């Protein structure tokens, strides 16, 4: 059986290495083109990649999408810290081939984002999002907290206080959504126990994305619930 050939951008990074381990342990998959900042780009090798996974930096995105677009190779991107410029690039390139971007590739957070819709029923409560991450994380608040905030805002239809961001130790990622009234406090909490959770989600998303026939900007939730 032909193996699914993965390209990884940011291959030497914390997530890139974790993703490679998950691919090597996935039947019918191989790490075909691990690429990092210092490597010379090999366009002949890139032409054979079935799907790219990019966990690198916002600056890398333009090249990643431009290079993938040459062969319409699907891209799963987990990089965070994007400004409007990068989000516009995702929109632009996803019109011609499948691109999946999610600030958090864990399936639990995908479900949490869906669960936020139920808070519409208690929109009169006070809300606060809090996140904790390891002390090496560059962006603050986390991309996940920003996505949760956007979805919470959509659900409760009002302005919210900015997410609280704490940095320390080796925490992989804790996100909490507090809903508070005078009588009760409801907390939705997600706790990533290791980095593998994001790597497994990204590899699952990539395996799903190569089967999508239509171009489009997909999210990890679409893997579980279908495209909106």
Regarding 113 and contact with ligand NAD (CB under 6 A), the answer is: no
Regarding 103 and contact with ligand NAD (CB under 6 A), the answer is: yes
**Residue 167: both structure tokens together:** 């940095």
Site for ligand NAD in 42-101 (CB under 6 A): 55-57, 59-60, 78-81
* Catalytic-labelled residue, pool 21, 87, 133, 158: 133
113, 137 in Cβ contact below 8 A?
A: no
Min dist. Cβ of residue 187 to ligand NAD (A): 22
42, 66 in Cβ contact below 8 A?
A: no
Regarding 102 and contact with ligand NAD (CB under 6 A), the answer is: yes
Burial of residue 1 (number of CB atoms within 10 Å: 0-12, 13-18, 19+): exposed
Beta-bridge partners for 125: none
Please identify, among the stretches 13-21, 90-98, 114-122, 183-191, the one whose residues bind ligand NAD according to the rule CB under 6 A: 13-21
Burial of residue 79 (number of CB atoms within 10 Å: 0-12, 13-18, 19+): buried
Site for ligand NAD in 117-136 (CB under 6 A): none
Q: Is 187 helix (H, G, I), strand (E, B) or coil?
A: strand
Min dist. Cβ of residue 157 to ligand NAD (A): 27
* Catalytic-labelled residue, pool 45, 124, 137, 200: 137
Q: Total binding residues for ligand NAD by CB under 6 A?
A: 24
Min dist. Cβ of residue 10 to ligand NAD (A): 3
According to CB under 6 A, which one of 3, 24, 37, 115 is a site residue for ligand NAD? Answer: 37
The answer to whether the Cα torsion of 42, 8, 215, 139 is positive or negative is negative
Beta-bridge partners for 145: none
10, 54 in Cβ contact below 8 A?
A: yes
Residue with smallest beta-carbon separation from ligand NAD: 13
Residue 65 makes CB contacts below 8 A (sequence gap 6+) with 75, 89, 90, 92, 93, 99
Q: Is 137 a catalytic residue?
A: yes
Q: Is 133 a catalytic residue?
A: yes
Per-residue contact flags (x/-) with ligand NAD for residues 179 to 208, judged by CB under 6 A:
-------------------x----------
Min dist. Cβ of residue 154 to ligand NAD (A): 20
Min dist. Cβ of residue 197 to ligand NAD (A): 8
- Choice between 148 and 156, CB closer to ligand NAD: 148
Q: Where are the beta strands (DSSP E) in 106-227?
A: 126-133, 164-167, 174-180, 185-191, 216-218
Closest of 119, 138, 139, 142 to residue 192, by C-alpha: 142
Contacts with ligand NAD by CB under 6 A lie at 9-10, 12-16, 36-37, 55-57, 59-60, 78-81, 102-105, 139, 198
């Amino acid at each position: 059986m032909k193996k699914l050939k993965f390209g990884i951008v940011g291959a030497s990074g914390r997530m890139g290495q974790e993703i490679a381990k998950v691919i090597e342990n996935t039947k019918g998959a191989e790490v075909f083109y691990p690429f990092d900042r210092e490597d010379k780009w090999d366009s002949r090798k890139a032409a054979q990649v079935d799907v790219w996974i990019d966990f690198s930096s916002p600056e890398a995105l333009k090249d990643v999408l431009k290079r993938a677009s040459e062969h319409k190779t699907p891209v799963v991107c987990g990089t965070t810290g994007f400004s409007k410029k990068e989000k516009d690039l995702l929109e632009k390139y996803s019109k011609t081939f499948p691109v999946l971007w999610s600030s958090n590739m864990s399936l639990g957070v995908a479900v949490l984002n869906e669960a936020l819709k139920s808070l519409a029923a208690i929109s009169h409560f006070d809300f606060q999002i809090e996140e904790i991450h390891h002390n090496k994380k560059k962006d603050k608040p986390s991309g996940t907290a920003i996505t949760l905030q956007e979805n919470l805002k959509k659900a409760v239809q009002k302005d919210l206080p900015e997410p609280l961001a704490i940095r320390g130790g080796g925490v992989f990622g804790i996100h909490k959504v507090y809903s508070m009234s005078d009588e009760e406090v409801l907390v939705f909490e997600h706790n990533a126990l290791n980095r593998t959770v994001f790597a497994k989600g990204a590899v699952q998303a990539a395996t799903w994305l190569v089967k999508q026939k239509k171009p489009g900007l997909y999210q990890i939730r679409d893997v579980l619930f279908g495209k909106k």
